[in-house]
């Protein structure tokens, strides 16, 4: 059976003599010959296998080069996929051949006699330590400063060195934040009379377009002409939903913010800022796909589940003379996630 499993007899002293406190290390086991060590034919076979594996690598690389020149990615999805597959398989075999060959060589042909190397304690010898201390003392003595003034020099040096990085840090930090005007969090581009438009086409929305059960994704009309359209869009996107007015529970002060059952809420989640885009028609719930904050549109978009704390800010809307939906004003609070000074 397996030679490594050979049971050696226990020498148990029956006379109750002194036992060592712990078992002793039996020492490195005997070396066991491999097939390739004992049998020259097996060794030759192993050599041929290694050579064949290296040859596989060559075939793989040639295959890669052929695929590169003869099967480039074309216009169709299938041709891109094929090109990727052929190049990738060529590379895989090119690499695998070398890897398997090298490891197989090591395992079957290279000497596998275990060797023992001594470890030494990490700490340097007592003599080296003493020598290190001695040279440091020598250097300190050479430093030319009397004991009395050492403290002054040390303090002055530390002060100078500690302060110098400010010359790099201050301009880096100072400029890195743009205009540092965080008051921009408080306002969006919505103003009285600005029309609500479809995202992404930009066409204005009439109140009659919005049927019960539908949801419109809204941007301010003329967003493209803003100085920084994406920055403004990131604050101004809105969801437009129409409910049966009987289902809508509005607080008295916000009753005028809706129009005939149509309500508009900020699309930016008050948790960490993802777009709250999922509208469930039957339950009137808005679900944010990032962390599952759920808002109830029929009740002022208050939070009914999930990690958000505050309801979605509501955009007051009405219609203009041609029946298009317009904002009455900007939002009445900063949109999006909370921050320290948000209510100040």
Partner 1 sequence: MSLTQRLSGGTADYLDQRTGIGAAVKNFARKIFPDHWSFLLGEVALYSFVVLLISGVFLTMFFVPSMNETVYQGSFATMHGVTMSEAFKSTLDLSFEVRGGLLMRQIHHWAAVLFMAAIVTHMFRVFFTGAFRKPREINWVVGSVLLTLGLLAGFSGYSLPDDVLSGNGLRIADGVARSIPIIGSYASYLLFGGQFPGHALIPRLFTVHVLLIPGLILALVGLHLLLVVLHKHTQYPGPGRTDRNVVGFPLFPVYVAKAGGFFFIVFAVIALLAATFTINPIWSFGPYDPSPVAAGAQPDWYMLFLEGGLRLTPGWTEFVLGGFTWSFNILIPGVIVPGVLFTTLAIYPFIESWVTGDKREHHVLDRPRNAPVRTGIGVALLVSFLVLALAGSNDIIATNFHLSINDITMFFRLFIFLGPILGFWITKRLCLGLQRRDRELVLHGHETGRILRFADGEYVEVHKVLSEDERWLRVQHESRRPLQIAPETDSRGVVRRGYRKDRFRQRVSQFFYQDRIEPITPAELAAAHPDASQDVHGAMRGAGNTQVGADVPMIEPEVPMIEPAERRP
Partner 2 sequence: MKARAARRYHRFAPVALLLGALLAVGAGYAALTGGPAAAAAPTADDIAAGSQLFRANCATCHGPSASGSRNAPSLIGVGAAAVDFQVGTGRMPMHANGPQAPAKPVQFDQQQISQLAAYVASLGAGPAVPTAEQVDAALGNPANGMALFRTNCAMCHNAVGGGGALSQGKYAPALWQTTPSHIFEAMLTGPQSMPVFSNANLSDQEKRDVIAYLVAQREGSPGGADLGSLGPVSEGLWVWVVGLGLLIGAAVWVGAKSS
Contacts to partner 2 from residues 107-126, by CB under 8 A? 107-108, 112
**Strand, coil or helix: what is 31?**
coil
State yes or no: residue 99 binds partner 1 (CB under 8 A). yes
User: Could you say which of 44, 66, 72, 84 contacts partner 2 (CB under 8 A)?
Assistant: 84
98 binds partner 1 (CB under 8 A): yes
Q: Binder to partner 2 among 10, 38, 77, 141 (CB under 8 A)? A: 77
CA 256 to the chain's CA centroid: 44
Question: Is residue 261 involved in binding partner 1 (CB under 8 A)?
Answer: no
Tokens of 26: 């039996």
Contacts 24+ apart (CB under 8 A), 116-123: 116/28
Residues near partner 2 (CB under 8 A), total: 44
When asked if residue 43 is in the footprint of partner 1 (CB under 8 A), the reply is no
Interacting span for partner 2 (CB under 8 A) from 126-134, 245-253, 284-292, 319-327: 284-292
Closest of 310, 289, 291, 311 to residue 301, by C-alpha: 311
DSSP assignment of 89-101 equals HHHHHHHHHHHHH
Q: What is the CA angle 271-274-279, rounded to 5? A: 95
Piece of the chain touching partner 2 by CB under 8 A; list 53-61, 77-85, 122-130, 166-174: 77-85
Q: Which of residues 155-194 bind partner 2 (CB under 8 A)?
A: none
Q: Which one of residues 62, 66, 103, 169 is an interface residue with partner 2 (CB under 8 A)? A: 103
Task: Determine, following the binding rule CB under 8 A, whether residue 36 of this chain makes contact with partner 2.
Answer: yes
Strands (DSSP E) found in 128-188: none
Strand, coil or helix: 280: strand
Neighbours of 339 (CB within 10 A): 10
Among the residue ranges 103-111, 179-187, 222-230, 256-264, the one whose residues contact partner 2 (CB under 8 A): 103-111
Using alpha carbons, list the distances in angstroms from residue 243 to 28, 256, 280, 328.
Answer: 81, 15, 12, 20
HSE of 232 in the Cβ direction (CA atoms, 13 Å)? 17
- Round to whole Å and give the CA distance between 265 and 284: 13
Residues binding partner 1: number (CB under 8 A): 109
The residue from 198, 307, 324, 329 that contacts partner 2 (CB under 8 A) is 198
Instruction: Work out which of 43, 198, 206, 275 binds partner 1, going by CB under 8 A.
Output: 275
Q: Which does 19 bind (CB under 5 to 8 A by kind): partner 2, partner 1, none?
A: partner 1
Q: Which of 213, 256, 309, 342 binds partner 2 (CB under 8 A)?
A: 213
Q: Is residue 227 involved in binding partner 1 (CB under 8 A)?
A: no
């Amino acid at each position: 059976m397996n030679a490594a499993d050979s049971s050696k007899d226990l020498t148990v002293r029956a006379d109750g003599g002194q036992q060592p406190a712990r078992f002793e290390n039996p020492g490195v086991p005997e070396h066991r010959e491999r097939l390739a060590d004992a049998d020259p034919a097996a060794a030759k076979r192993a050599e041929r296998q290694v050579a064949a594996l290296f040859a596989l690598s060559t075939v793989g690389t040639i295959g890669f080069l052929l695929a590169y020149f003869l099967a480039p990615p074309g216009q169709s999805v299938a041709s891109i996929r094929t090109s990727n597959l052929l190049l990738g398989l060529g590379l895989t075999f090119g690499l695998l051949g070398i890897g398997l060959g090298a490891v197989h060589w090591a395992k079957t042909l290279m000497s596998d006699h275990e060797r023992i190397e001594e470890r030494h304690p990490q700490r340097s010898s007592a003599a080296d330590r003493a020598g290190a201390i001695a040279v440091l003392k020598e250097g300190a003595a050479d430093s030319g400063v009397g004991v009395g003034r050492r403290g002054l020099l040390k303090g002055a040096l530390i002060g100078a060195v500690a302060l110098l990085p400010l010359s790099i840090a201050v301009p880096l930090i100072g400029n890195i934040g743009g205009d540092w005007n965080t008051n921009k969090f408080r306002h969006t581009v919505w103003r009285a009379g600005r029309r609500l438009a479809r995202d992404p086409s930009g066409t204005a929305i009439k109140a009659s377009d919005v049927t019960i059960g539908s949801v419109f994704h809204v941007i301010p009309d003329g967003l493209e002409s803003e100085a920084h359209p994406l920055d403004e869009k990131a604050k101004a996107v809105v969801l437009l939903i129409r409910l049966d007015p009987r289902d809508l529970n509005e607080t008295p002060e916000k009753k005028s913010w809706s129009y005939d059952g149509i309500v508009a809420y900020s699309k930016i989640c008050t948790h960490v800022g993802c777009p709250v885009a999922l509208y469930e028609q039957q339950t009137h719930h808005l679900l944010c796909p990032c962390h599952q904050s759920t808002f109830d549109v029929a009740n002022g978009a208050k939070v009914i589940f999930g990690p958000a704390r505050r309801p979605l800010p509501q955009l007051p809307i009405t219609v203009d003379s041609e029946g298009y939906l317009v904002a009455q004003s900007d939002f009445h609070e900063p949109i999006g996630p909370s921050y320290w000074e948000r209510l100040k």
